[in-house]
Amino acid sequence: MSFDVDLERRLGDRRIGARFTAGAGLTALFGPSGAGKTSILNMVAGLLKPDRGHIRIGDRTLFGDGVDVPPEARRIGYVFQDGRLFPHRRVRANLLYGHHLADPGDRWMALDEAVEFLGIGHLLDRWPHSLSGGEAQRVAIGRALLRAPQCLLMDEPLSSLDAARREDIMTVIERIRDTLKLPILYVSHDRAEVDRLATEVIALGG
Amino acid sequence: MLSAEEWGIVALSLKVGGVAVLATLPLAFGLAWLLARKRFPGRVLIDGLVHLPLVVPPVVTGWLLLIAFGPFGPVGRWLETAFGVSLMFRWTGAALAAAIMALPLMVRAMRLSIEGIDRRLEGAARTLGASAWHSFWTISLPLALPGILAALVLGFARSIGEFGATITFVSNIPGETRTLPLAIYSALQVPDGEAMVTRLALLSVALSLAALVASEWLVRRGHRGQDRHVL
Amino acid sequence: MVRLILALFALLLTPAATAAERGPLVMAAASLQESLTEAADAWAAKGHPKPVISFAASSALARQLLAGAPADLFLSADEPWMDAVAKAGLLRANSRTTLLGNRLVLIAPVGSTVKLTPARGFPLARALGSGRLALADPDAVPAGKYAKAALTALGVWNGVAARVAPAENVRAAMALVERGAAPFGIVYATDARASRSVRVVGTFPASSHPPIRYPVALLKASRHKDAAGFRAFLLSKQGRAIFARHGFSAP
């Protein structure tokens, strides 16, 4: 399972680009704020269209050579910096949103497994607005995992958490990397995070 | 408290207002979505046309309706020959006049609501496997719903209060087009109509007030829901 | 800057200055539009300030007078509305008299070729079909009341009562027929004469409705020095000739 990414895009008066290949494990995209790291993730996910380039994951071409697979068909899980849980649905419905949409044959994780993996069983009937930062981030990760993705994108998932919560979530991420063996593309500007979690680091210019 | 005739007037007003708003709902939502989300040539023109009934004197709007939808107007004649339908002197004509006058208010309120939808949530839904359509139905629409309902209620209040365009387009026919405002106006023409005027006017104010309060409450409720999306 | 403000002030005051030269305020039934305007012009040509005329349905005018509108003369299209104003003590003593008479006609849009004579039991409902009969409001406006009385006397009111398009005044009723929105209307003979877009289908027998009489009176609160003079002019030979030219009959 590998990433083969070569992208370029003009945003305003900035030019954002990246060219890298990555294997299994957690690949960190490391760089200062404003380097366009989030935009790169958005392009990989299909939320933003590159001006030119290609995106290949495994043996699938998601973008390039006249191909542009829509985001819903890319089988990529995305954990956003701000969680982005749906406010009008409870935690359970949030978790299952992508699960219901996935092909039954593609699903490799059930709700119970995800709940146990992340320790969020007691939150299932809560509303997103009543969750703490750490709880919400766990639910966001669970939602992305239950979507049966082939890989995971994470955009600075620890930046809005306090020290204790960061430790919790880092443990979860390590388990995703090692136990679930899901390839992760991880964006961060924090050296310590990157040093601890990354299998490989790709530096992006500012 | 109200006589049978007066209840009839209220019932007609509610019917005309209700039909006007429900029939306009898809068009208003479509226009609101278009103006909120899409860029296209002629956008400013569409925006202007939608707002025209808001700034043009209602009598002029009624007169324009007469020219287009009246018995000799292009649309009126087509309706007559194709469907055997005539809007002249009919409650359907009153509903059309009310709808045109309510449209700009509804489009504005819905557009505000649509612009308030966090598009990043739509993006999140897409990454979870939802098509654009599915994302619209399960994420965008439910989040915009309080604002849409508020727009409906506001449009309804405007509809039941519509006078100038109605009386110019379809006249003042008891039982067909004599809605609350027209009935009050008629009662004013007759020197001993004071009691009826008072009753109907109080009712009219009460209905409008209720609609405004409901609309405000719905909008606030929608905002409370939005504030929680940040997590 | 100060001069500009003073100039603006002066501009605002000029209407007040010219108001002193304004003619008497006359409240007149809508059907008198052309004839009374011509009479007012003739009066002004004699060197008097031109009367200001407010045309509307007699019912609406009566309502305004009862609410205290400051007019000098009232010209109603029927006696009952003049009675109402008299009962409120608003008329100047001995100033009320009957000025004009009129006839009631059935009209259709000018291009229509229909033949219909208003007579006992005439097939108006059938001729209307799905269309409506344009009348001034039969509950309040004189032209509408006369029309309802005539149709009732001829035995056809019940058949058409539900198909009436009530208008604010007789001219508004005529406008509906002019526009083709209504296939038939009932207005005064003088109204039909004043319009080029309608044609008279038939005249209602004078016996089918109360005699159409236009009373004129001075209001008690009238302060204008010309009011009585204008009233006298309307009643004079020259005044009556103007009305006769427009189709009004002597009372």
- Residue corresponding to tokens 């945003």: A11
CA–CA separation, B126 and B130 (whole Å): 5
Residue B191 predicted with pLDDT over 80: no
Nearest to A136 by CA among A173, A169, A107, A96: A169
How many CA atoms lie less than 13 Å away from B167 in the CB half-sphere?
22
ipTM: 0.92
Mean pLDDT calculated for residue range A84-113: 93
Chain B residues touching A83 at Cβ < 8 A: 231
Residue B230 predicted with pLDDT over 50: no
- Choose the mutation target among B59, B85, B89 for the interface with C, i.e. most C CBs under 10 Å: B89
CA–CA separation, B11 and B8 (whole Å): 5
Question: What does each C-alpha distance from A139 to A114, C17, C123 come to in angstroms?
Answer: 9, 81, 80
Per-residue pLDDT at C13: 65
Task: Return the DSSP state at B103.
Answer: H
Indicate if the alpha-carbon torsion angle B119, B120, B122, B127 is positive or negative: positive
Q: B143-160 pLDDT, tens per residue?
A: 999 889 989 999 999 999
Per-residue pLDDT at C6: 82
Please report which confidence band the pLDDT of residue A35 belongs to, taking 50, 70 and 90 as the band edges: confident
Nearest to C54 by CA among C26, C77, C33: C26
Nearest to C172 by CA among C31, C26, C65, C54: C31
Mean pLDDT calculated for residue range A68-90: 94
Point out the least confidently predicted range of A148-152, B227-231, C171-175. Answer: B227-231
Q: C4-51 pLDDT, tens per residue?
A: 888 777 777 665 545 457 899 999 999 999 999 999 999 999 999 999
CA–CA separation, C46 and B162 (whole Å): 47
Start-to-end C-alpha separation, chain C: 62
Per-residue pLDDT at B228: 47
Question: Strands C184-188, C133-136: parallel, antiparallel or unpaired by DSSP?
Answer: parallel
Q: C106-162 pLDDT, tens per residue?
A: 999 999 999 999 999 999 999 999 899 999 999 999 999 999 999 999 999 999 999
CA–CA separation, C128 and C116 (whole Å): 11
CB atoms within 10 A of CB B110: 28
Chains A and C touch, using 3 or more CB pairs below 8 Å: no
- Residue corresponding to tokens 């309502």: C63
Residue A72 predicted with pLDDT over 60: yes
Smallest Cβ distance to B129: which of A80, A88, A102? A102
On whether the CB atoms of residues A120 and A138 are closer than 8 A, the answer is yes
Residue B229 predicted with pLDDT over 50: no
Shortest Cα distance from B132 to chain A (angstroms)?
9
Number of H helices, E strands in chain B: 11, 0
Shortest Cα distance from B64 to chain C (angstroms)?
14
**Residue C187, C-beta contacts closer than 8 angstroms, at least 6 positions apart:** C31, C104, C105, C107, C136, C143, C170, C173, C174, C177, C198
Q: Are C57 and B71 a contacting pair at CB < 8 A?
A: no
Nearest to A48 by CA among A91, A4, A24, A12: A12
Q: Are A70 and B125 a contacting pair at CB < 8 A?
A: no
Nearest to B24 by CA among B88, B100, B136: B100
Q: Are A80 and B230 a contacting pair at CB < 8 A?
A: no
Q: C178-219 pLDDT, tens per residue?
A: 988 899 999 999 999 999 999 999 999 999 999 999 999 999
- Tokens at residue C195, please? 């319009």
Q: Is B124 on the interface with A (CB under 8 A)?
A: yes
Q: Is C83 on the interface with B (CB under 8 A)?
A: no
The phi and psi torsions of B50 (rounded to 5 degrees) equal -60, -40
Residue B190 predicted with pLDDT over 80: no
Per-residue pLDDT at A1: 63
Residues pairing with C210 in the sheet:
none
Residue B148, judged by CB atoms within 10 A of its CB (0-12, 13-18, 19+), counts as buried
- Tokens at residue C113, please? 């070729």
